[in-house]
Structure 1
């Protein structure tokens, strides 16, 4: 079926951009405020640090792991339906969680159901921008990502305010109503107009003589379409990136969860402790677009993966500040420096992946990365909680743990990329030497061969 898809970057496209910004602030930024409720939930359910940590880990893991399922919904029903369904699920999960009597029930309601709903709304808000923007797509993505920074700024402040007046149950009930705004944002994401050729509507498709594929074959085709296992097998650079991200995620989300309890345990006022996360979010409003513009300069076109590893390394080293002092102003300085490295990681995370894989496989490659990193997200907070339980609530070990995973991931990715680039350079030199030893009359053919080999190497690093 021949279809022509219109891409009007007119006034309604900017309304869709605004709805995408709000949706990202409501969804992807929400897990950063969970640390506000950590101590309250632990006291309510008389649970250990490890048991309480399963709640934010399940929530964040579902926010990432539901990507392939969201992709199927978008393909079948469109971004509008997927985003509105996500808002309904997130609302139901939070409302149900306000009546939970055990942590296990909280895992299912606020963890699994809400996390899946947030995933549907969040990834739909990213996908819809690709339909409404073409020439200005990088600008649209950069502006939409500012919603995450705004959400990180506002969610902790709102959580602290509601927690004091309504308790965690009343706060979760209010959050359910807040997530219904994802349905309003989803309703704005109306489908793009398509023009279908008349012949395709008049002439039916001839019946296929080949047998219909089995259910197992269809499942295999769906997995191949949404999860790039073939790229993982043949692209060494993508393997390095995927393994490095999985290892990095074991430490990256820990400060967002444990920074507030750490500050409160060392005598910092509850309001000031909640303000620390807001400082990170507010700084990212300005730092993330700057990092994106810096990485987009032609000078760094072939070196973005090294800037990415440098940002991860700085993020890991910054966490060591919390092992030295828990003074409020020291933690404020930590949040400001942490924001610089966090903005670099956030701005380059998807851009580096675009540099490593062909764009026609980017969606499936991203789907596989999000599924694999959700495993790390699911493991990291309970592992840190277990470390707290065994060390008599010594939060320094948590930040040591975060630093270890981030620094080792940066060193692994940086050194591996250097080795792969060296091998690629040696391969090009060997091909050039072989071509130079050929017959002179074949110079034109040899140049075509060299150009082809260079084009192939770009997509395999």
Structure 2
């Protein structure tokens, strides 16, 4: 590519930041979402119920979303690269430690704390950094960055199943841990906080001398938390997240309950990954055109409708259709949410605001998958849990559609 004078243009560094964030989400969330592949082995070896085993994932999920309210402000102050690098090292160490667990309680400590704290340190800083590097193409860039979650969900569970078959679940956790530390930590070095630090401007656009006020545009974390718009987003995300991660924990066991072979059941997580990747890649640009607030509501509605398919599915193909459609809208939700935060509250403290918002997802993740597991232990069915998730997503969509307009930043 050349500029108007014929001089070759360098690739805008913002895309390297996107690549770093992609890698962090790929190995971080990809490792976390392998849990469905390990669930049967953990349940068998530790003589545990489905509910108590699913607490492992819920604990990790709670931590990696709740920690965003700490890692986000720290990234705004210290830089996203340090937090992302630390997070990847913690995630890898947690997976390796899980391979030595002698009880389910030790898996809680190793996997739950290691992966939970690690992803929590890395995710919000990495995604928050991307928001500052783009304006017109923020939806696209955010979608590409978090598409690492979708690709990781496609690749990592299948890799985990292969490793479990060859090395057992302990060896599989050890290999995954080393992979995270090498790939995730290495790519985290590409992440930088702000284009102005390199004398650049969002989207790589040419501009005049850097305006200090431009860098500080936006609300403080305290101002954002006191706004009506934040309260609306928080409530919607809390409702959605009560059910959003239930498939990642329970889809594989649910498929096996319907007679699907374990090797085929694990592939369903990969199908979610395919759909999620498609949603993040192809919906990002569409969201920029249709309006990111309306797009967020559409993602909630799409997840609700797809979950209704799961409630009726018994065979592999119908489960696969659910997994793909659900993945598309789940991926779109993850992609659009940080961009909505940037749109509504500005970039001055975007990582801190995203982190505060993600505590809603933390509480939902802590409750939802484990509650679905214990409900199954009682009723031997996932129907009630799935239908509750449908209703929660529809309520979340209604709340977002009633959100105050962008300029209405009054206190709640």
Q: Does 1:118 align with 2:119?
A: yes
Matches of 1:351 and 1:194, distance apart in 2: 21
Which stretches of structure 1, 4 residues or longer, exceed 6 Å deviation after superposition?
Answer: 190-193, 458-461
Q: Counterpart of 1:275?
A: 267
Cα drift, residue 136 of structure 1: 5.8
> What SS does the aligned partner of 2:381 have?
coil
Q: Distance in 2 between matches of 1:309 and 1:189?
A: 30
Change (3 A) 1:123 1:238: closer
Greater CA radius of gyration, 1 or 2? 1
Q: Following the alignment from structure 1 to structure 2, what is the Cα–Cα distance between the partners of residues 42 and 350?
A: 36
Corresponding residue to 1:311 among 299, 318, 323: 299
2:231 to 226, 230, 239: 239
Partner of 1:4: none
Report how far residue 281 of structure 1 moved.
1.3
Deviation at 1:122, TM superposition (A): 2.6
Partner of 1:432: none
- Whether 1:82 and 2:83 are equivalent positions in the alignment is yes
Following TM superposition, by how much is the alpha carbon of 1:354 offset from its aligned partner in structure 2, in angstroms? 3.4
Which residue does the alignment assign to 1:407?
A: 394
Distance 2:136 2:407 in 1: 26
Alignment correspondent of 2:345 = 357
RMSD value, Cα: 3.0
Please state if 1:29 is matched with 2:39: no
Does 2:178 match 1:186? no
Number of residue pairs aligned between Structure 1 and Structure 2: 384
CA–CA separation in structure 2 for the residues paired with 1:313 and 1:135: 26
| Residues 128, 338 of structure 2: 8 Å contact kept | no
Q: Supply the distance in 2 between the matched residues of 1:348 and 1:161 (Cα, whole angstroms).
A: 33
Over 3 Å counting, the alpha-carbon distance change for 1:118 and 1:320 in structure 2 is: same
Q: Within 1, Cα distance between the matches of 2:273 and 2:377?
A: 29
| Alpha carbons 2:128, 2:350 under 8 Å: kept | no
- C-alpha deviations, 1:306-348, integer Å up to 9, x for none? 3322321231122122222310111122223223322332333
Q: How far apart are 1:25 and its partner, in Å?
A: 0.7
Label 1:362 to 1:183 Cα distance change in 2 as closer, same or farther (>3 A). Answer: closer
CA distance in structure 1 between the partners assigned to 2:192 and 2:349 by the alignment: 26
Deviation at 1:305, TM superposition (A): 2.7
1:183 Cα deviation after fit: 1.8
| Structure 2 residue corresponding to 1:390, chosen from 369, 378, 394 | 378
Alignment check: 8 A CA contact 1:263 1:273 kept? yes
**Does the aligned pair in 2 maintain the 1:67–1:371 contact within 8 Å?**
yes
The structure-2 alpha-carbon separation of the partners of 1:340 and 1:183, relative to structure 1 and needing over 3 Å to count, comes to closer
Question: What residue is the counterpart of 1:457 in the other structure?
Answer: 408
**SS of aligned partner of 1:267:** coil
Contact 1:74–1:82 (Cα < 8 Å) also in 2 = yes
Q: CA 1:123–1:353 in structure 2 vs 1: closer, same or farther (change >3 Å)? A: closer
TM (norm. structure 2) is 0.83
TM-aligned CA distance change 1:311 to 1:45, over 3 Å: same
| CA deviations over 1:230-256 (Å, ceiling 9, x no partner) | 4333x2232122111111110111112
In structure 2, the CA distance between the partners of 1:373 and 1:188, relative to structure 1 (3 Å rule), is closer
Q: Structure 2 unaligned runs (5+)?
A: 1-8, 199-217
The 2-side partners of 1:409 and 1:188 are apart by: 35
Give the direction of change, closer, same or farther, for the CA distance of 1:352–1:41 in structure 2 (3 Å limit).
same
Which protein, 1 or 2, shows the higher relative CO under an 8 Å CA cutoff with sep ≥ 6? 2
Instruction: Give the deviation of 1:75 after TM superposition.
Output: 4.7
Measure, in 2, the Cα distance between the counterparts of 1:153 and 1:372: 26
- Which residue of structure 2 lines up, in the alignment, with residue 368 of structure 1? 356
Alignment of 1:3-402 (within 5 A): 10=11, 14-75=15-76, 77-129=78-130, 138-180=139-181, 181-189=183-191, 228-233=221-226, 235-297=227-289, 300-301=290-291, 304-391=292-379, 393-402=380-389
Distance 1:226 1:379 in 2: 31
Q: Name the SS of the counterpart of 2:244 in structure 1.
A: coil
Alpha-carbon distance, 1:30 to partner: 3.0
Structure 1 pair 227/105, CA: closer, same or farther in 2 (3 Å)?
A: farther
* 2:33 match: secondary structure: helix
Cα distance, 1:15 vs structure 2: 4.0
Q: CA deviation at 1:70?
A: 2.0
**CA pair 409-47 structure 1, distance change in 2 beyond 3 A:** same
Q: Which runs of 5+ in 1 are unaligned?
A: 1-7, 196-224, 422-454
Structure 1 Cα separation of the partners of residues 10 and 82 of structure 2: 22
- Stretch moving more, 8-17 or 76-85: 8-17
- Which residue in 2 is equivalent to 1:427? none
SS at 1:251 equivalent: helix
TM-score, normalisation: structure 1: 0.75
